Chains A and B, each alone.
Chain A
Amino acid sequence: MTTTAEATDPRVPDSDPQPLLAVRGLVVQAADGVRVIDGVDLTVPRGGTVGLVGESGSGKSVTSSAIIGLLPAGLTATDGSIRMNGTDLRTADERTRRAMRGKQIAMIFQDPLAALNPRIPVGRQIAEILRVRDGRPRAEAHSTAVELMRRVEIPDPERRAGDYPHQLSGGQRQRVMIALALAGEPALLLCDEPTTALDVTVQARVLELLARLQRQDGLAMLLVSHDLRVVSHVARDLVVMYSGRVAESGPTADLLRHPRHPYTVALVRNIPSPRERTPLPEPLPGTPPDPAARPSGCAFHPRCPLARERCRVEVPQPRESGTGRRSACHFFEELPDAS
């Protein structure tokens, strides 16, 4: 870890010598040796919001599971580092990791119904965390729980605290999940597909809440989603993953306006816009690859319009492609917008 006091440029996430979360060269392997995650770099600055996007098999969810230390059975983080406030979570013992979880890093999931206990009122579920972990007295824990529910904008929180999860709407349940996550006063909130299961009208309000928590409380967030539209509205920086590697990263608006990886170009072009009807884009051939059958060289080369011999044989290393931006494409300079 470098301790040089460099000038930190908010536009350049890597300019902070000790960011909140710094994932470097992360490798996650399956029992059979398959590198599900093959060298991922990712930085969440203090108070920053980073969107981690990718399609199926991109490794975005495995990356977030590795960060919180809940990798599915059979997967192991075998190389690289996951530094949270300077502590490497990959090599830390279970006690250190458990102390981090909830307190430093909290997580919300796609399906709150599966994450909440159906037989306990939601207020008590939040209060339980405060009592068990912080040893707060029952009454105080309860009032803090109600306060948390108010913070996530659940109407009439005193009464709602007594409701069971099934009595709440999908949007309210996701708000309860966010309140649960906030109970530990974490510095970083991992959101795995936070609005995917919600209706459009509800989705917009939950995103607004997340954006407000970030603005007002300086809560840092890592938003993991397949939906670039959702992420683009909340995240200041984006990390685009493809087949267990980072294809491209950088500030959201700049990256979407001038993608410097052919995969990002295709992603942006293929999102159907509700604003105007346009001819369907030329579809990319094929499907996102399974990590076990990752193509040689650049994993995107079989689907890439720019691909040539070098792409088949040489894995492209991420290199600077603009202010605060990196692209893992040998030939991003040839993309039309890359001026």
Chain B
Amino acid sequence: MPPEALLQLDGIQAGYGSAGYGSASYGFRRRAAQPVVRDVDLSVAPGEIRAVVGESGSGKSTLARVIVGLLAPDHGTVRFDGADLPFRRSRAQRRAIQMVFQDPRSSLNPRMSVASIIDEAWRTHPSTRPADTALGLTGLLDSVGLDAAVAGRRVGELSGGQAQRVSIARAVAVGPRLLVCDEAVSALDVSVQTQILALLLRLREDLDLSILFITHDLGVVRQIADRVSVMHEGRIVEQARTDEVFEHPRDPYTKTLLGAVLDLAVAQQPASARPTPEPQP
């Protein structure tokens, strides 16, 4: 493990029985269930885009909840910037790691205006509030590609792409160092998806951000990630530089996953147009 890692997870185990905000155990007896995430070691270097890829149920979202502090791990340690990151975090620790979810219309209050959503972030972390709030808001919206006129509109009135820009603005408003994106572009139309990916790449440069990018879309991973971790049944089965994983996968599951991924069928014939292998009756 490189000492300069921004985020370092060691031996993380967590799952349905783990304690946390809004976890399944809340108000119930803790079940001795199978952990969803097992023995996960993962690091994110400063300025890196690290992808975590897996199918549904692989544990990638549970891992995200541990990292942002919504779920306490049963075992293992989370270190951030060289110091232990406990489950109960200080304001500054919470500020440093922000999250962007898949569906901004459910993660943001649809009846709140864009301005009040950003203002709420600044109220939670007052040290990050710009001297001139109005000017700061305009600048922030501009930095995520939104017109200042959007400030007064409710999230529910915005398009999916605009709403996702708002949730990115909310996350970066408080000056985080790590952005955890959980399927942040999966629900977007492809023409809009590229806009958001370009935005994330630009923000990484401008704000010196690291990004943990959780997704099931291997195409997106290939295009933007520096390194990738492949999760399967709660474990990381393979992690390496992105090109390395795609060109020389070692784990059998990674091979299966890469074998199943669809690219645009431009080069080959569509399956239905191929010659029939079965003998005709």
Q: Which residue numbers of A lie inside 8 Å of B, CB to CB? A: 49, 55-56, 199-201, 203-204, 207-208, 211, 214-216, 226, 228-230, 232-236, 252-253, 256-257, 266-268, 270-278, 280-281, 283-284, 287-288, 303
B55 within 8 A of A: yes
Given A235-B270, A236-B273, A274-B246, also A226-B189 (CB < 8 A): yes
- The reply to whether A272 and B271 contact each other, CB–CB distance below 8 Å, is no
Interface mask (B105-131 → A, CB under 8 Å = 1, otherwise 0)? 000000000000000000000000000
- The reply to whether B191 and A283 contact each other, CB–CB distance below 8 Å, is yes
Q: List 16 extra interface pairs beyond A268-B264, A272-B219, A280-B223, CB under 8 A.
A: A55-B191, A199-B56, A201-B55, A207-B271, A229-B263, A229-B264, A234-B271, A234-B272, A236-B270, A252-B270, A270-B193, A272-B222, A272-B223, A273-B219, A277-B242, A283-B195
Given A56-B189, A283-B191, also A274-B218 (CB < 8 A): yes
Complex: A98 Cα to B197 Cα, angstroms:
46
- The reply to whether B223 and A273 contact each other, CB–CB distance below 8 Å, is yes
- The reply to whether B218 and A200 contact each other, CB–CB distance below 8 Å, is yes
User: Which A residues are CB-close (under 8 A) to B278?
Assistant: 215-216
Q: Which residue of A has the minimal Cβ distance to B276?
A: A215
Q: Which residue of B has the minimal Cβ distance to A268?
A: B264
From B218, B219, B246, B265, residue with most partner A Cβ within 10 Å = B265
- The reply to whether A233 and B262 contact each other, CB–CB distance below 8 Å, is yes
From A49, A214, A273, A274, residue with most partner B Cβ within 10 Å = A274
User: Which B residues are CB-close (under 8 A) to A234?
Assistant: 270-272
- The reply to whether B263 and A203 contact each other, CB–CB distance below 8 Å, is no
- The reply to whether B262 and A203 contact each other, CB–CB distance below 8 Å, is yes
Q: Shortest beta-carbon distance, B152 to chain A, in Å?
A: 19
- The reply to whether A200 and B257 contact each other, CB–CB distance below 8 Å, is yes
* Contact of B272 (CB < 8 Å), options: A235, A276, A303: A235
* Contact of B265 (CB < 8 Å), options: A56, A233, A272, A287: A233
Given A200-B55, A273-B222, A287-B162, also A280-B191 (CB < 8 A): no
B192 within 8 A of A: yes
Q: Which residue of A has the minimal Cβ distance to B269?
A: A253
Complex: A240 Cα to B257 Cα, angstroms:
29
* Contact of A204 (CB < 8 Å), options: B162, B260, B265: B260
Q: Shortest beta-carbon distance, A131 to chain B, in Å?
A: 29
- The reply to whether B270 and A199 contact each other, CB–CB distance below 8 Å, is no
Q: Shortest beta-carbon distance, A335 to chain B, in Å?
A: 16
Q: Shortest beta-carbon distance, B157 to chain A, in Å?
A: 11
User: Which B residues are CB-close (under 8 A) to A275?
Assistant: 222, 263
User: Which B residues are CB-close (under 8 A) to A272?
Assistant: 193, 197, 217, 219-220, 222-223
B149 within 8 A of A: no
Q: Shortest beta-carbon distance, A230 to chain B, in Å?
A: 6
Complex: A253 Cα to B272 Cα, angstroms:
12
Complex: A121 Cα to B11 Cα, angstroms:
42
Total of A-B residue pairs, C-beta within 8 Å: 141
Q: Sorted from nearest, which 7 A-B pairs have the closest CB atoms?
A: A272-B219, A55-B189, A211-B271, A199-B55, A232-B265, A283-B195, A283-B194
Q: Shortest beta-carbon distance, A105 to chain B, in Å?
A: 19
Q: Shortest beta-carbon distance, B178 to chain A, in Å?
A: 22
A-B contact pairs, 26 of them (CB 8 A): A55-B189, A199-B55, A200-B216, A200-B260, A200-B262, A203-B262, A204-B262, A207-B262, A216-B278, A226-B190, A235-B270, A235-B272, A252-B265, A268-B266, A272-B197, A272-B220, A272-B222, A273-B264, A274-B222, A274-B246, A275-B263, A277-B243, A280-B201, A281-B194, A283-B195, A288-B192
B90 within 8 A of A: no
User: Which A residues are CB-close (under 8 A) to B271?
Assistant: 207-208, 211, 233-234
B198 within 8 A of A: yes
Q: Which residue of A has the minimal Cβ distance to B243?
A: A277
Complex: A266 Cα to B191 Cα, angstroms:
7
Complex: A283 Cα to B200 Cα, angstroms:
13
User: Which A residues are CB-close (under 8 A) to B161?
Assistant: 287
User: Which B residues are CB-close (under 8 A) to A216?
Assistant: 276, 278
User: Which A residues are CB-close (under 8 A) to B198?
Assistant: 280, 283
Complex: A272 Cα to B191 Cα, angstroms:
11
Interface mask (B204-226 → A, CB under 8 Å = 1, otherwise 0)? 00000000000011111111100
Complex: A204 Cα to B256 Cα, angstroms:
11
B35 within 8 A of A: no
- The reply to whether A288 and B191 contact each other, CB–CB distance below 8 Å, is yes
Q: Shortest beta-carbon distance, A275 to chain B, in Å?
A: 6
From A49, A56, A228, A283, residue with most partner B Cβ within 10 Å = A283
User: Which A residues are CB-close (under 8 A) to B243?
Assistant: 277
User: Which B residues are CB-close (under 8 A) to A55?
Assistant: 189-192
- The reply to whether B219 and A271 contact each other, CB–CB distance below 8 Å, is yes
Complex: A201 Cα to B259 Cα, angstroms:
8
Interface mask (B56-94 → A, CB under 8 Å = 1, otherwise 0)? 100000000000000000000000000000000000000
Q: Shortest beta-carbon distance, A217 to chain B, in Å?
A: 11
Interface mask (B229-240 → A, CB under 8 Å = 1, otherwise 0)? 000000000000
Q: Which residue of B has the minimal Cβ distance to A216?
A: B278
User: Which A residues are CB-close (under 8 A) to B218?
Assistant: 200, 274
Q: Which residue of B has the minimal Cβ distance to A279?
A: B223
- The reply to whether B272 and A199 contact each other, CB–CB distance below 8 Å, is no
User: Which B residues are CB-close (under 8 A) to A278?
Assistant: 223
